[in-house]
Structure 1
């Protein structure tokens, strides 16, 4: 189930984003970014529709996934 990021409180949204960027395996390449920079980057992707928050009711888990269709459209534009 897709959860519109704008419907979450600021604290809840930040918690979801922080959980996402702190997960082991999240790779930002060679350059080091602060937690604040990573959170801002993901928030920007959510605001531009390039990523979505997804809730899985079966497991009760929340994840952020890239919207591949929107990203491809933006690159082609």
Structure 2
């Protein structure tokens, strides 16, 4: 289930994004980025609709994933109008 990120309190959203960034451990090559920069990158992706917040009822977890990886049933999810 997609969770509307705009409905989360700012502190909660920040914690979710920080947790995601710390778990991912993405290699940025020669130019290392700060946690704040990585968090802002993910926030930008949420705003653009490239990634979504997803609640897994099975695992009872909240995660961030690319929109293309998430499908609700058989329906394609449309990009939000931001």
Q: TM-score range by the shorter chain?
A: 0.7 to 0.9
**4+ long deviations beyond 2 Å:** none
Q: TM-score, normalised by structure 1?
A: 0.80
Q: TM-score, normalised by structure 2?
A: 0.76
Match of 1:66 in 2: 66
**SS state of the match for residue 33, structure 2?**
coil
- 2-side partners of 1:19 and 1:38: how far apart? 11
Indicate the structure with greater helix content.
1
- 2-side partners of 1:37 and 1:64: how far apart? 17
What number of residue pairs does the alignment pair up?
Answer: 68
Q: In the TM superposition, what are the counterparts of 1:1-77 in structure 2 within 5 Å? A: 1-23=1-23, 25-30=24-29, 31-68=31-68
RMSD: 1.5
1:32-67: CA deviation from partner (whole Å, max 9, x where unpaired):
110100000000000000000001122211110012
Q: Which runs of 5+ in 1 are unaligned?
A: 70-77
Deviation of residue 26 (structure 1)?
2.8
